[in-house]
Amino acid sequence: MARGLFITLEGGEGSGKSTQSKRLQARLEAEGQSVIITREPGGSPGAEAIRSLLVTGAADRWDGMTEAFLLFAARRDHVERIIKPALDRGTTVICDRFTDSTMAYQGYGHNLGREPVEQLNRIALNDFKPDITLILDLAVEVGLKRAVSRGGDELRYEDMDVAFHHRLREGFIDIAKRDPNRCHVIDATGSEDEVSNRLQGVVLTAVKSGNG
């Protein structure tokens, strides 16, 4: 049995990842693939418990290094219990955030730097990476407005200052430049249909060309 495809969606707050994950799942299932959606932080029972520590509370609850340790603890459990078994069954996995988010949020946003995140990735995951990463890019102010309008109690990152979110956006762009074969920057402006067409076009092209 062929291994499943591992696809991640990345981007700043309010970029539309959750909506586009569901739309991509429906499109790939229409193409005959078995697909699951998962998310980070979270995705497994243990990782979901850690998620609550990260996305609630005061903006200064943790520093960047503490967040990175928590994220990789959650991620290892998620990968070992959910992602790898699904891929081994031949199932396509769509994940809302993965290691690139840690690099962007903690490495760039919190000024932790690339090397600590890369070291933790090697230790926790042995450099396990997605096959395709889609980075939804949107102006910071637009994304934050969307995110806050959703409401809920997971607003810790939305409460961080605007400078943090600008570093975050620049971080995602730099990540894409460093790994252009895997990462694709998607313009997240416009309607949900317009963004879906851009995103799904990239995925289907990659799959058909054998790059996914």
Would the CA dihedral through 42, 47, 48, 53 be positive or negative? negative
The residues with which 39 forms a beta bridge, in sequence order, are 96
**Residue 155 confidence (pLDDT):** 67
Q: Which of 79, 89, 168, 172 is nearest to 133 (CA)?
A: 172
Q: Give the model's pLDDT for residue 136.
A: 97
- List, for residues 65-85, the tens digit of each pLDDT value: 999 999 999 999 999 999 999
Q: Take residue 111 and report the two structure tokens written for it.
A: 């000024």
What residues are paired with 6 via a beta bridge? 93
Does residue 211 surpass a pLDDT of 70? no
Q: How confident is the model at residue 38 (pLDDT cuts 50, 70, 90)?
A: very high
Residue 49 in tokens: 């418990």
Residue with the larger pLDDT of the pair 68 and 161: 68
Which residues, 6 or more positions from 51, have their beta carbon under 8 angstroms from its beta carbon?
41, 42, 74
Q: Is the pLDDT of residue 118 over 60?
A: yes
pLDDT band at 122 (very low <50, low <70, confident <90, very high): very high
CATH superfamily of 6-209: P-loop containing nucleotide triphosphate hydrolases (3.40.50.300)
Tokens of 98: 């993965």
pLDDT tops 60 at residue 121? yes
pLDDT higher than 70, residue 126: yes
Domain ranges (residues) in the chain: 6-209
As a whole-number percent, the residues of the chain with pLDDT over 90 amount to 76
- Tokens matching residue 211: 């790059």
State yes or no: pLDDT of 19 exceeds 70: yes
- Comparing CA positions, the residue from 160, 183, 159, 153 lying closest to residue 171 is 183
* pLDDT (average), residues 178-182: 96
